[in-house]
Amino acid sequence: DSGVTQTPKHLITATGQRVTLRCSPRSGDLSVYWYQQSLDQGLQFLIHYYNGEERAKGNILERFSAQQFPDLHSELNLSSLELGDSALYFCASSPTRLAGYNEQFFGPGTRLTVL
Amino acid sequence: AQSVTQPDIHITVSEGASLELRCNYSYGATPYLFWYVQSPGQGLQLLLKYFSGDTLVQGIKGFEAEFKRSQSSFNLRKPSVHWSDAAEYFCAVGLITGNQFYFGTGTSLTVIP
């Protein structure tokens, strides 16, 4: 158990809909990272937040957005969903803002299925 | 272009045999190097990491990795594979400059009895 929690575990929705994925980092970790894992794209970095502020953006679509709240939990919002958004979405956390330096602790993931 | 390469998409080994998973990187400076493992249906777990010093690092579950600067490689090894090692293995690099972290495409390991 990494200490990172993600809800829900599974999510099934229809095209065009909007969903919110939630992540609670390990106690004491200030950084939260979001990743998308699909069979054809592999593990793709989406976005990094540190202590409520966006630190880095990866291959995140404009239809997707994220935020980190004062209690350090984070939410990833996916809107106007398409079939191709079906994937496993991981959240990870680390203690500092230095993404390149710290080990990242991964949650169990949320499996999103868009029908 | 900057990249992390895991040239083997899939590897099959017999239980008890030795294992080596390859990882090469292409960056201007020596990055921080990591190996993660993902068991089926699970999140990623850190096996080991290299920041500096001794180029042979020991990790959990009997894994080790060797950093070779001249080859820009960080290969993962295990002398005797167990059936429970069947999983997806990801090499990753971290760059302090630019605050960046990159994963390789992964190597899927199958262990046969």
Residue B111 above 80 pLDDT? yes
Residues of chain A contacting B96 with CB distance shorter than 8 Å: 98, 100-101
Is A95 at the interface with chain B, CB within 8 A?
no
CATH number of the domain located at residue range(s) B3-112 in this protein? 2.60.40.10
Q: How many CB atoms lie within 10 A of CB B10?
A: 10
Integer Cα distance of A93 and A105 in angstroms: 5
User: Where residue B3 falls among pLDDT bands split at 50, 70, 90?
Assistant: confident
**pLDDT single digits (tens) A84-110:** 999 999 999 998 877 777 789 999 999
| pLDDT tens track for B12-37 | 999 999 999 999 998 777 789 999 99
Question: Which of the 8 DSSP states describes residue B60?
Answer: G
Tell me: the pLDDT tens digits for A24-67? Answer: 999 999 999 999 998 877 888 899 999 999 998 888 999 999 99
Q: What is the DSSP letter of A25?
A: P
pLDDT beyond 70 at B98 = no
* pLDDT band at residue B2 using 50, 70 and 90 as cut-offs: low
Indicate whether B95 pLDDT > 70: yes
Q: Which two tokens stand for residue B52?
A: 């500096």
C-alpha closest to that of A25 among A110, A97, A107 = A107
Give the minimum alpha-carbon distance from B103 to chain A in angstroms, rounded to a whole number: 7
pLDDT of residue B55: 92
Asked if residue B97 has pLDDT above 90, the reply is: no
- B105 inside 8 A of chain A by CB: yes
DSSP A26: P
Q: How far is A107 from chain B (nearest CA, A)?
A: 6
- The Cα–Cα gap between A49 and A66 comes to 9
